[in-house]
Amino acid sequence: MRGEHAGYACGAALGFLGDLILADPRRGHPVAAFGRAAGALERRLWRDHRGHGAAHTLLCAGGAAVGAALLQRALRERPGARTALTAAAAWAVLGGTSLGREARAVGGALAVGDLDVARERLPHLCGRDPQALDGPQMARAVVESVAENTSDAVVGALVWGAVAGVPGLVAFRAVNTLDAMVGHKSPRYRRFGWAAARLDDVAGWPGSRLTAVLTVVAGPDRRGALRAWRADGGAHPSPNAGPVEASFAGALGVRLGGTLAYGGRVEHRPVLNGGGRPPAVPDIERAARLSRRVGLLALGVTVAGRLAVGAVRRGRKGVAANVSGRVTR
């Protein structure tokens, strides 16, 4: 058991390092392969019905989790291979480096006034309609996306990895990917995507709260981050994006939320940290750096938590063995 927890810690750290160095490959990414498979299954199962969507979610996310669990179990007697599997899975599901890279690409285009390039790159980050946004609105969209995806692409995966190992890493990424694919309120997915969206809300809850906590710890304005989280985190229509975006807004001293165009419709969302200033282009770099700090802290916290739980379990087993030995004698 001790080696299992230490192996996970080593594998998670190696996977995080792999993401820092390699980021996401432009071709052949495992998450993209999962998305293609999920899309193919959707074409066969789609009906305007929650039950069909639930079956799609169960088959895709459940299949990915079961496959990862079987592979992890097959390597239980090979600690080196198990650590390598953890590293590969962590690298595959983490997206912090690509998140920062895409945010900086949009920020660089905005900095030189090239709105066309910025609009071209923005869909790599979020589903906003870039043609409906001007420069300041795109800056706000990038900061919001960096905040939300710090939880979705980094912290949430690390939390579930610490809880359930490789199956936790894989299952969280599968659920999050399905939510991005079908979990929105368009006419096609309002019913079919309901199960994926609700499951993503549940899976994302612990990671979003840890992200908000770590944003308070790592942000340049800790009091502002905590104040905005407490005041505005619950106002967002997403139960998980709200605390994260609000804490980022307070930490950076900017105002987020408001009207946006998303998926062919206009939404009027509550303002987060209303006393802040509108986001500017330099705030994109500040958000990316804050995201990196939060990710590093999340790695440390989740690995330490996994090791601590392992130590407690070993201690309990040791006490139980001592008691059993005394009774036997």
pLDDT at 246 exceeding the cut of 70: yes
Contacts of 39 (CB under 8 A, 6+ apart): 181
Confidence tier at 249 by pLDDT (50, 70, 90):
very high
pLDDT at 4 exceeding the cut of 70: yes
Q: What percent of the chain has pLDDT over 90?
A: 83
Q: What was the pLDDT predicted at 190?
A: 95
178 within domain boundaries: yes
Which range among 47-56, 65-74, 145-154, 181-190 shows the weakest confidence by mean pLDDT?
Answer: 181-190
Neighbour-count burial of 77, counting CB atoms closer than 10 A to its CB (0-12 exposed, 13-18 middle, 19+ buried): exposed
Closest of 158, 139, 193, 89 to residue 147, by C-alpha: 139
326 within domain boundaries: no
Average the pLDDT over 133-149 and give the result: 95
Q: Which residue(s) pair with 272 in the sheet?
A: 256
Confidence tier at 1 by pLDDT (50, 70, 90):
low
Confidence tier at 185 by pLDDT (50, 70, 90):
confident
pLDDT at 151 exceeding the cut of 60: yes
61 within domain boundaries: yes
Average the pLDDT over 229-243 and give the result: 95
Average the pLDDT over 120-144 and give the result: 92
Average the pLDDT over 227-249 and give the result: 96
d(CA 293, CA 30): 26
pTM for the structure as a whole: 0.93
Domain of residue 117 covers: 2-319
253 within domain boundaries: yes
Confidence tier at 111 by pLDDT (50, 70, 90):
very high
Residue 268 DSSP SS3: strand
Residue 314 or 187, more confident: 187
329 within domain boundaries: no
Q: What percent of the chain has pLDDT over 70?
A: 93
Q: What was the pLDDT predicted at 313?
A: 76
pLDDT at 323 exceeding the cut of 60: no
User: What digits encode the pLDDT tens for the residues 208-227?
Assistant: 999 999 999 999 999 999 99
Numbers of helices and strands, H then E, in the chain: 13, 2
- 153 near 95, Cβ under 8 Å? yes
pLDDT at 96 exceeding the cut of 70: yes
* Cα dihedral sign, 138-144-149-150: positive
Q: What was the pLDDT predicted at 213?
A: 98
The type of residue at 8 is: Y
Domains in the chain, number: 1
Measured at the CA of 236, the angle between CA 231 and CA 238, to 5 degrees, comes to 135
324 within domain boundaries: no
pLDDT at 321 exceeding the cut of 60: no
Closest of 35, 15, 206 to residue 97, by C-alpha: 15
Q: What was the pLDDT predicted at 240?
A: 96
User: What digits encode the pLDDT tens for the residues 38-61?
Assistant: 999 999 999 999 999 999 999 999
328 within domain boundaries: no
* Cα dihedral sign, 80-84-87-89: negative
